Chain A
């Protein structure tokens, strides 16, 4: 085989390698959006559930009053049990319902999820005090 032909074959091999590497890179780039899909779904569920909790009396008491009690005296055991009951019936994964004071300090956390998709914060005002409630859903 002549020198020129050997060079052409070498060039072809290099070109093929570049194309293969490009294809593999393309494949990884185009399949990276599956997590977004799950996050959107979890975000919808979290927001809908917080909206539901704010409209319903839990153990005969509104969420606002329960949250204020959680921050001032500690959560009622029945309230915690009812929240767990609702979460288990409506969600599949882990969750955390977090009640916080205005400065961001947590008053109560029901559930075991530490990092996940969060709902929008629902703010509560009670005689000048401000609390927030948000729901965290893990995958």
Chain B
């Protein structure tokens, strides 16, 4: 029993990681963010998160979507939005102002809304 207690204490001391915020949304600003641009890539359903890129003026933005199964489940697949399409993405911008990335909840293309995080407003 004493050994068990000591091992438990050791593991607890060696595990500061759970204290860190989960990467899901913690790296992104609280405020809602919306931006429109022209897609320069198709939607990539590669893990850990589906992505595509848009060009806004001269700036290329990374659009980070949900994990692949969830993104695909929301109706967004590699052929859904052709390259060069005008889209509006809604979500949260990366906290680092030097990074042009939107963690995206919704994508609007041609009046159709793809809601990859429907549980988030």
Q: Do A and B bind each other?
A: no
